[in-house]
Structure 1
Amino acid sequence: MPAAPTSELPPFVLVHGGRHGGWCWKHVASALRRTGHTVHTPTLTGLGERAHLLDRTIGLNHHVQDLVAVFEFEDVQDAVLVAHSYGGMVVAGAMEHIAHRVRRVVHLDAHLPRTGESVFDVIGPDRAAKHLANAEENGEGWFIPPADASWYGVTDPDDAAWVNSRVTAQPLKTYQDPVGDTDRASAHPGLFIECVPSSLEPHVLDRARRRHADDPDFSYHVLHATHDAMVTAPRAVTDLLRKAVDL
């Protein structure tokens, strides 16, 4: 069951996508904090400022545990939990443990897996094959190297330089591992934000978008911004996240 709303402003927990880190939420987190919200922007193991921990054994469950630990050690309650892209996989797995601490889930162009699915399952065999080939050719067979900011739709020169200086490699295993039970994530009320036009190949998020559009528990919103909307359109993202508090 969703967390019972309180009279206080709910905290936000912002979960980044693949090859990113908590850094990508900088502008959105600052704006939310100015309005009085507590904001957590965890970085998943092996990524961002934790890239020194990158290891071939890091899988999806490590990242699920990262997120669960934030809720437990920070005593997060009644939260708005936001996932971007790959972060949807992490949130789906973690919700089995933290759903009672979550008011609302927001998927910002994020995956919505069913029980037992991996990233490769939800993005389809063609895109999965490209990731595998990239890892084999440029990632020693076990990691996916950073992508240029343009892959995420970041074209402003200053923003692109900022993103390119911070994106890091992604352990391949995190995309291959199946997620555990996702029943609580699927049943929890929330908001899906589709970024249009997306810089990603059309089929990469098609499954998540169809699932959210057909799910009565989710409100659906189209945002005219690129996939990395928290970088390219932080004000619009912030406004939507604040509206999600009381959906």
Structure 2
Amino acid sequence: MANFVLLHGGRHGGWCWRRVTTRLRAAGHEVHTPTLTGSGERAHLLTPHIGLDTHVRDLAAVFHYEDITDAVLVAHSYGGMVACGAMQQIADRVRSLVLLDAHLPHEGESVFDLNGPQRADAMIALANQSGEGWYIPPADAGRYGITDPADRAWANARMTAQPLKTYQDPSGPTDRAWSHPGLFVECVPSSLEPHLLDRARARSAADTRIGYRVLSAAHNAMVTAPEALTTLLTEVLASE
């Protein structure tokens, strides 16, 4: 049995992993689903001062206070920025890092650097128009490939805003993430804008230190394809 730490992406929360968590726990695994400051059930803590480093410290603190060791750390989307930064502190507690359609930064790169100037400009404009200049409002779950009406309504009721600063801040050192046993999982066909995660996909496919798998699911596979994702995660354990 293993310890799983499932980290959500931007504008989500630990809630999004519910269907995968149920399956992993039924198989006897221990599962943690932390929610980053300002997101999900911690949305009341949202402030303009929350940045990438805040979220890195959130994740590192979960490992410390929950005494988590020998963990499979699964990071989704923006969560890859957080996980790769936190690995500088928690790598000795992580057996493998799984990046689920997630960013894979080098030191000094921000989400906006990885997404490109067109996407960055659009997000900044959205924050200026609908987020008081400092936060990105919740997105419709359909953007993440959740098309079932009931699932879409469930997710939309839980989506929260994202501090703009978290996407602007450059990553700190990430060398321990790059040198650690890891796997990049590409969701195909992606429901995101074209090329949004191309850099992460290309980097992982080209780097022999990082495994590469394709999952036939939308970007939010934990909601739309929980059985397939759970199977893939348990296969990761079996292959170690």
The alignment's TM-score, normalised by the length of structure 1, stands at 0.96
Question: How far did 1:38 drift?
Answer: 0.4
Cα distance in 2 for partners of 1:52, 1:223 equals 34
2:80 alignment partner AA: G
Find the aligned partners of 1:210 and 1:186 in 2 and give their Cα distance: 14
Paired residue for 1:118? 110
Tell me the residue number matched to 2:70: 78
Hey, what does 2:52 align to over in structure 1? Answer: 60
Amino acid at match of 1:89: M
Displacement of 1:224: 1.0
- Aligned pairs, number: 239
> Aligned partners of 2:75 and 2:117: how far apart in 1?
23
Identity over aligned pairs, percent: 67
Distance (whole Å) between structure 1 residues aligned to residue 191 and residue 10 of structure 2? 15
Structure 2 portions without partners, runs of 5+: none
SS at match of 2:6: strand
1:131 matched residue in structure 2: 123
SS of the aligned residue for 1:181 comes to coil
Q: Given the alignment, which residue of 159, 162, 165 partners 1:167?
A: 159
CA–CA distance in structure 1, aligned partners of residues 136 and 195 of structure 2: 19
Aligned-partner SS, 1:130: helix
Provide Cα deviations, 1:79-108, integer angstroms capped at 9, x if missing partner: 000000000000010000000000000010
Partner residue, 2:198 = 206
Report what 1:97 is aligned to.
89
The equivalent residue for 1:12 is 4
Tell me, in whole angstroms, the C-alpha distance in 1 between the residues paired with 2:118 and 2:164.
16
Q: What is residue 184 of structure 1 aligned with on the other side? A: 176
Query: 3-state SS of the aligned residue for 2:217?
Result: coil
Give me the whole-angstrom Cα distance separating, in 1, the residues matched to 2:235 and 2:121.
Answer: 38
Q: Which runs of 5+ in 1 are unaligned?
A: 1-8
Distance in 1 of aligned mates of 2:152 and 2:2: 32
From 138, 143, 149, the counterpart of 1:151: 143
Deviation at 1:142, TM superposition (A): 0.1
- In the other structure, the counterpart of 1:6 is none
Amino acid at match of 1:204: L
Shift of 1:201: 1.0
Aligned residue among 198, 209, 214 for 1:217: 209
Report the RMSD for the aligned CA atoms in angstroms: 0.6
